[in-house]
Amino acid sequence: MHSVMTELQTVDWAVSDAPVPYPEAVAFMEARARAIREGTARELVWLLEHPPLYTAGTSAKAEDLREPGRFPVFEAGRGGQYTYHGPGQRVVYVMLDVAARGRDVRAFVQALEAWIIGALAEFNVDGEIREGRVGVWVDRTQPGGPPREDKIAAIGIRLKRWVSFHGISLNVEPELEHFGGITPCGISDPRYGVTSLVDLGLPVGLAEADSALRAAFETVFASATRSVPAPEFGARPAPHSSSVQSAGAP
């Protein structure tokens, strides 16, 4: 696995133990991204879980929300369409200075993909990229059976003045049936489903997934990481809605 980004300063690495409400997470990311732009905070990778919810990216279509009353639905402001977040899924929010990393959004998304693929390789899972379908996929085709591919990780980012937020979600052991309330990423073709590490028969927990993600991040992004306390929530910062760019799809 080769580094695809320029070597930079140490990146903060935080893990939240309890599920984080979505609005609080977004408000924190916006505030941290602003501080990174202003040079008053380090870059941060934040690992967490959310309570069950759906988020709508900037390309989401109303008809892809199949069960609007099932879980709370949030407008995410990131690239992409509808996705599900919930317990057992490792959500990783990346607040990184993309300007310092080359000002290349495509290369940044490719680095995120390489990061997930590298982490999956720690469990002998072959993650793959597919043209026209953002995210990381696993070939589930059985001998003699029809082609089938399942998504194991989603990518959806947003940039403000070249600082990223939102990020990736890796299915470790979520309730896969919860994806049934949406058309994930707008893909209704039955050949394309959703899977997880546990669904693949791997007894992997969040802590093991976290270790694999951290090692792969340090390699792909050529950045050391240092553990810091996870965010604590009191008064919520006022959100900022302007966006320069968004990319990806859940």
Structure tokens at 193: 């489903």
Active site residues: 185
Label residue 175 exposed, middle or buried (CB < 10 Å: 0-12, 13-18, 19+).
Answer: middle
Find the angle CA(54)-CA(171)-CA(28) to the nearest 5 degrees: 55
Closest CA to 71 of 214, 193, 178: 178
Give how far the C-alpha of residue 249 lies from the chain's centroid of Cα atoms, to the nearest Å. Answer: 10
How many whole angstroms from its chain centre is CA 200?
20
CA 224, distance to chain mean position in Å, is 20
CA pair distance 129, 72, nearest whole angstrom: 30
Among residues 16, 32, 46, which one has the least CA distance to residue 97?
Answer: 32
Residue of 111, 119, 118, 74 whose CA lies nearest to 94: 111
Which residue, among 51, 92, 56, has the nearest Cα to 186 in the 3D structure? Answer: 56
Residues 192, 166: Cα–Cα separation, whole Å: 24
82, 250 in Cβ contact below 8 A?
yes
